[in-house]
Amino acid sequence: MEMKQALCAVALLLICVTTLLLAVTLPAHAEEPVVPSTPPETTGTVTPLQEVKVIGESETEGYAVKNTRTATRTDTPLLDVPQSITVVTQEQIRDQAMQNLGDVVRYVPGVGMAQGEGNRETPIFRGNSSTSDFFVDGLRDDVQYFRDLYNIDRVEVLKGPNAMIFGRGGVGGVINRVTRWADWTPLREVTLQLGSFENARTTFDLHQGFSDTFAAGVTGLYEDTNSYRDHVTLERSGINPTFAVKAGPDTQLRLGLEYFRDERVADRGIPSFQGRPFETDEATFFGDPGRSPTDTYVQAYTAFVDHDFGGGLSLRNATRYGDYDKYYQNVFASGAVSGGTVPIQAYNSDTQRENLFNQTDLVYTFATGSVAHTLLGGLELGSQDTTNLRLTGTFVSTATTTFNTPISSPTINEPVTFAPSASDANNNGRATIAAVYVQDQIEFTPQIMTVFGLRYDHFKVNFHDDRASATVRQIITKDDLLSPRLGLIYKPVERASIYTAYSLSYLPRAGEQLGSLSVSPTSTGNAALEPEEFINYEIGAKWDLRPDLAVSAALYQLDRNNVAIPDPMIPTQLILVDGQETRGLELGLSGRVTSDWSIAGGYAWQTGVLTAGSLSGATLAQLPKHTFSLWNRYDFTPMWGAGLGVYASDDWYASTSNTVTLPGYARLDAAVFFTLNRNLRAQLNVENLLDEDYFLNAHNDNNLTPGSPAAVRVGLIANF
């Protein structure tokens, strides 16, 4: 607690100092950088130190991206990365008025977003749902909450497991947010947004160089809004000051800290009836909104050091400390509508976690004869301390854990008491990670390249179960994981590539949230079982039709193995089986068709089935066979532009029971852009232009989220 208070004090001090300095010294207009120097030419992957660069570095032009550092830990053209990657740029985020990752993945082929019990983001990568495969600037950010985009430069979605780069997890892919860091280009920007359902949101972005060697910046957010769903509210705020220091001609230091708060009503949607969503107004709340709060507080501190030794050798060290406090409570529909009533249940959950990760990457570019190498060697150390507590609700009026309410009055206001049940989580654990990795990107000729990498993780969990009914109180597990990655790239022409790739990732028995470890009294249980395996086979092609317009295609198979299920002969014991198989085709498109026409979107065909257990042969949850998205922006004049987007989805099952089907739909979005001058812009965004009735996502068969009716957002962006 003392450490947390000290860090809070430091954070508040830095925020106040930064904001004061920026307010006093920022010029009235952003004209020329304080350091108007031209970067020297570089070779290989060495980063020019005359500029401040960020992890996940990319060359961005409109909706198009040329390079990424995230996928290989080296600055690599997307054409040379043997993996399906979609990058959503800041320009696209702004044009579509995106606010969260659910908005982002709508235009990412092969990725969806589940409901997450109304308190967290749950992306679905190639048929695998996850609540932990989130990274920020290449560092793990895995607590369950809703992430905002107020301080984000771009979002990178990397598909397919790749533990060689990211470590354990990443079961179907990862999402990496790249933040906006301080630089020497003066900027003072404020955005105000108002919209339907009393939406009110403001953000700001201030950056300034104070000398040739020091720059500072700060981004901020405040939002207070209601919803198209009855009684659902949201309030969130964030502030993220950053600093950049040139400690010498060959060394850069960047420091950042963030305080973020998100408070909202946990919304579980509506239940089902006879295999379909129950027919009711999309605003209807099932449960008790007054007793369904969710609160998240995040404090994060990040530091990067880059040093160029010369001769093709460079070093990057990254450190992130994150302190997360997450609480949510649900009073929600727990079953289908039956006999004119719907069952309501309640529980709450509290999670506290402290993450500390440090990564050191050493990159060496050299040649052996005519063969060029980009050699990466790295070390990652980390620890995660987690405390989980869950309590089950009992309704006072009935003294039961289930309250049946008539469907004519599904929104209730019933007193509830909370106490631990025999199965409720009450645990704390410490996970420690030590990993080493090596990777070589080899260019045999300008046409033939390969990427080979191998990572070793020592993953240890010291798990203590504090439940009164726990048979074994403390469990210690150790996993030694070897994660290979192999890719072969062929470039028939300079602007096109064909690749094939293999990758492997593991999910240890502690689960993605490090809170599910258990030991059965009659078996060795989870602690003795091998981790789950996720194996990805992929072939693909990428083509830059023009310098700022790229298309891509990927065909993959993702197998999930070593899944622990109850033994059919001895239900109290667990056995390992092959778990599921997903196959798919992903097509992506992003960039400029002409100087006035920008475009982004894609198509995905996916099929996935369970291959073991009592549900063997069942279709995977929330995996529509066909999805299509396409966003267009066209600028008619320097002052006026317009946008039009479409998202379409096939039917899909709410869960692997395959008993509840959500209907397919097509949704249109639109926008109008007005630029008065370089200091003042405005835009109008309309979501669901034709007021289509549809369902956005689900958590299970009886937590189904209806989509928003037609909604309008008006934004004003001012630069001073």
Residue 172 is predicted with a pLDDT of: 92
Is the pLDDT at 55 greater than 60? The verdict is no
Lowest mean pLDDT among 70-79, 439-448, 470-479: 470-479
Instruction: Please state the rounded mean pLDDT for residues 299-306.
Output: 98
Q: If you write DSSP's letter for every residue of 603-670 in order, what string do you get?
A: EEEEEEEE-SSTTTTPBPTT--SEEEEEEEEEESSSSEEEEEEEEEE--EESSTT---EEPPEEEEEE
Indicate the range of 37-41, 58-62, 350-354 predicted with least confidence. Answer: 37-41
* C-alpha span between 294 and 233 (Å, rounded): 11
Q: Can you tell me the mean pLDDT for 133-148?
A: 95
Residue-range domain boundaries for the chain: 2-32+59-719
- Strand-pair category, 426-443 with 371-395: antiparallel
Tell me, what's the pLDDT at 94? 95
What whole-number distance in Å separates Cα of residue 647 and Cα of residue 653? 18
Which of the four pLDDT bands, split at 50, 70 and 90, describes residue 527?
very low
* pLDDT at position 293: 97
Q: What is the pLDDT of residue 613?
A: 79
- For residues 677 and 33, the model is more confident at 677
pLDDT at 257 over 60: yes
Backbone φ/ψ region at 132: left (φ over 0), alpha (ψ -120 to 50), beta: alpha
* DSSP three-state, residue 166: helix
Helix (H) or strand (E) holding 2: helix 2-25
Query: Is it the case that residue 512 has pLDDT exceeding 60?
Result: yes
AA identity, residue 443: E
Q: Which of 332, 352, 358, 330 is CA-nearest to residue 343? A: 332
Q: What percent of the chain has pLDDT over 90?
A: 80
DSSP reduced 3-state for 523:
coil
Q: How far is CA 106 from its chain centroid? A: 13
Say yes or no to pLDDT of 19 above 50.
no
> Which tokens in the block code for residue 565?
């299920």
| Ranges of H-type helices in 78-183 | 90-95, 101-105, 163-166
The band of 518, judged by pLDDT with boundaries at 50, 70 and 90, is low
- Determine the Cα–Cα distance for residues 601 and 612; give it in Å rounded to an integer: 35
Run of H or E including 3: helix 2-25
Indicate the pLDDT class of residue 5, thresholds 50, 70 and 90: very low
Encoded tokens for 161: 């497991």
Pick the CATH number of 2-32+59-719 from 3.40.50.300, 3.40.50.2300, 3.30.70.3270, 2.40.170.20: 2.40.170.20
The DSSP secondary structure of 20-81, one letter per residue, reads HHHHHH--SS--S-SS--PPPP--TTPPPTTS---TT---EETTEE-EESTTTSS-EEGGG-
Considering the entire predicted model, what is its pTM?
0.90
Positive/negative CA dihedral, 49, 50, 52, 53: negative
Structure tokens at 658: 């395959």
